[in-house]
Structure 1
Amino acid sequence: MFNFKSFKERINQRIPRNSQVTLNRKQIFIFPTKFGFIYIGMCFVLFIMAMNFENSLVYIMLFWLVSIFVSTMILTWRNLDGLRLRNAGSEPIFASDEATFNITIESLGRAHHSLWLSSKYSNNFVDCQAKASSTTYLFVSETQRGRVRLPRFIVETTYPLGIFRAWSYVDLDQTTLCYPRPLASELQYYSSVDLEDSDYLDSGVSKNRGVDNFDELKNYELGDAVSRIDWKAYAKGHGLLVKTFTEQASKEIWLSEQDFTGNLETRLSQMCYWVLEFSKNNQRFGIILGNDIKIEPNSSDIHTKKCLEALALYRTLND
């Protein structure tokens, strides 16, 4: 009796999860297609005819067809042999959106024709020219908050005649973050005035970076909001400068998961909505998740991504 679990374990051992896979003889499977079995049946009929009628022309036809059969088997197998597949990254999504996983197919020598990549959710067709690369993608349509993984997929070919099917099972260790889907709600937050006696904020700070009053221009640093770049100064040849603003500490906002209503997913969705709103308005904010996670207030793009990642991974089994 076929043991699927045992087969899956053998596949994992023979073709382990890796961000880059180069297919070789140990990782490629090959078997005749339906058309291939019809071809075999036709050859068998010709063999019986040649034996019964002792006809040399039938023997010649039979040997010719058998040679095509064997040659096609080798060509189909070689069409996958030496093919390299690489993880080409993916972009974060929101819950229920379709996740796109990019895959780069690379030829180390000869061309690879008529390749099919297929998974549970999608499939795609691609060709790869000799010593060149091509990028394709696969989708995962069923997504929920946390890390979304592209499952092990099949790369296969029936090139050149469709008599044989060669295939391999590949896992490129591809994941992407799935943020909570934003849900508009009433704003619930702590200001620095509310928390001035707590450990979250330094009560001695009275002036913070914000959006109210222009302060000065400073050199661009990694993580600064692109929307604050002074493009006029850049056009005049003054370099890449960023506008800084000030605001009172009382406008420094803290979003806490416990102050939103609904179940966990609803609360996180509401927080996600306000994280995006504050980021769009360059508002300085921080978030508090439970008793363990606290991200200090900031207004940079990197800070926004950090907050969204925390919301995505908070209390998930695949963290």
Structure 2
Amino acid sequence: MSFEFNKRFDALFWRWAKRRTSAQKTVTLKHRAIYVLPSKAGVCFFVAVILLWLLGTNYENNLVLAASFFLVSLFIVAIIHGFRNLAGLQLTALPARPVFAGEPLELSVRLKARAGTTSGRVSLAADVNRAVVTDVAKDTEEQLALRLATQGRGWFTPERILVQSYYPLGLLRTWSWVRFDVRLLVYPKPLACAQPATIGRDDGERSATQLQGDDFDGFKRYQPGAPLTHIAWKLYARGAGLHIKQYASAELDSVWLDFRAVSGDREARLSALCYLALQWHQAGRTFGLRLLEQQIEPASGQEHLHRVLQALALFELEQEPL
């Protein structure tokens, strides 16, 4: 019951807090977005102070009253220091490497304290059960990596990031919600398919590509995007520069990843094409992509693989660049 109440309260509070913040790539925490409430330890501390004050009043003990007043003053000072610990803290979202759907995505966040100050024991979390804690020293920057759960393909935007601290005494929870104006790419989840390598071509059109055979046929200078498995490392070790091993090849039809050539619903087809793209890239093959009205010409290399996977990720979704 308590857990359900906390979730409901959190959802209501977030809807209210969301109106007070704006999504930005670099967020600076200001007084309107910083909230301070007693922690569990702080509530117990405050109850103990009240009991101490009642005890001193009842027995007219000035020493006990002075101790209770001192503890109240300490609590008030903790409020000020806790608020100043987060005030002015600057958070910047950094680019993240694309992942496949279902894999955790690592979002790097750079933290910088207000000029001339430090921020102690600051924690960031996209999931309250996976917080990352750090200290931001004066005039320095810290970088944290947050793990975000992903589900579907396409652009992924973290809804909110929790920034909180129990500095300095653990009696108060000072926190803020941060929204980053950043979109992170999630590829389709690769799933093995029963189809062999798909051969697709337009009617009346025949394009050829060179697929590697088994017979060695000399060396040539390295070109960006060539498979690393074909680099002649022995020549490189002798100082001859980067060369690629050439093999006798047979001229075959250009290999295409064709959306129409695989079976299943839309997501199953995209997952199968993603799997084939990874397999063919690892084998050093040259291939193209056909997605209904969209087409990517045959090529190879890491950049080409990214273009193909991005096209699969954004198929029939919003396709604006980041």
Quote the Cα distance in structure 1 between the aligned partners of 2:38 and 2:128: 25
* Matching of residue 218 in structure 1 with residue 225 in structure 2: no
Is the 2:219–2:243 contact (alpha carbons within 8 Å) kept by the matching residues of 1? no
Question: Where does the alignment leave 5 or more consecutive residues of structure 1 unmatched?
Answer: none
Cα 1:35–1:3 shift into 2, 3 Å: closer
Count, aligned residues? 308
1:197 aligns with 2:243: no
Residues 103, 58 of structure 1: CA spacing in aligned structure 2 closer, same or farther, 3 A cutoff?
same
Structure 2 vs 1, CA of residues 125 and 300 (structure 1 numbering), >3 Å: closer, same or farther? closer
Q: Is the 8 A contact 1:122 1:138 kept in 2?
A: no
Which amino acid is 2:189 matched to?
Answer: P
Deviations along 1:268-292, whole A, 9 cap, x unmatched?
22212211111111111111011x1
Q: Is the 8 A contact 2:210 2:252 kept in 1?
A: no
- Alignment-derived partner of residue 293 in structure 1: 294
Identify which range, 119-128 or 164-173, moves more after superposition. 119-128
TM-score by length of 1: 0.82
Task: Report how far residue 245 of structure 1 moved.
Answer: 6.4
Contact 1:209–1:244 (Cα < 8 Å) also in 2: no
Q: Report what 2:63 is aligned to.
A: 57
- Rate the CA distance shift 1:181–1:110 in 2: closer, same or farther, 3 A: same
Secondary structure of the residue aligned to 1:14 is: coil
Q: Of the candidates 171, 183, 189, which is equivalent to residue 180 of structure 1?
A: 189
Structure 1 ranges of 4+ moved more than 6 A = 2-6
Q: Give me the whole-angstrom Cα distance separating, in 1, the residues matched to 2:288 and 2:223.
A: 22
CA contact (8 A) 2:188 2:270 kept: no
Three-state SS of the structure 2 residue aligned to 1:123 is: coil
Q: Does 1:263 align with 2:265?
A: yes
In 2 relative to 1, CA 121–56 (structure 1 residues): closer, same or farther, beyond 3 Å?
closer
**Alpha-carbon distance in 2 for matches of 1:247, 1:31:** 71
Q: 1:313 to 1:281 in 2, by over 3 A?
A: same
Q: Secondary structure at the match of 1:182?
A: coil
Q: Name the SS of the counterpart of 2:252 in structure 1.
A: helix
SS of alignment partner, residue 315 of structure 1: coil
Unaligned residue ranges in structure 2 (runs of 5+): 1-7
Report the Cα distance in structure 2 between the residues aligned to 1:151 and 1:246, rounded to whole angstroms: 53
More divergent stretch after superposition (235-244 vs 30-39): 235-244
1:6-59 CA-to-partner distances (Å, cap 9, x unmatched) read: 865653453322222232323211111233233333333343444444432123
Shift of 1:247: 4.7
Deviations 1:287-316 (A, max 9, x none): 1011x1101001111111111111111123
Q: Which moved more, 1:32-41 or 1:299-308?
A: 32-41
> 1:161 pairs with 161, 164, 169, which one?
169
1:234 aligns with one of 224, 233, 236: 236
Partner of 1:312: 313
Cα RMSD after superposing both structures: 3.1
2:96 is equivalent to residue 90 of structure 1:
yes
CA contact (8 A) 2:101 2:186 kept: no
Contact 2:132 2:146 in 1 (8 A): no
> What's the counterpart of residue 5 of structure 2?
none
Q: Is the 8 A contact 1:116 1:123 kept in 2?
A: no
| Structure 2 letter corresponding to 1:66 | V
Corresponding residue for 1:105? Answer: 111
2:3 matched residue in structure 1: none
Question: Corresponding residue for 2:23?
Answer: 17
**Deviation of residue 78 (structure 1)?**
2.1
SS at match of 2:67: helix
- Counterparts of 2:136 and 2:172, CA distance in 1: 21
Whether the aligned pair in 2 keeps the contact of 1:180 and 1:312 (CA below 8 Å) is no
Amino acid at match of 1:178: Y
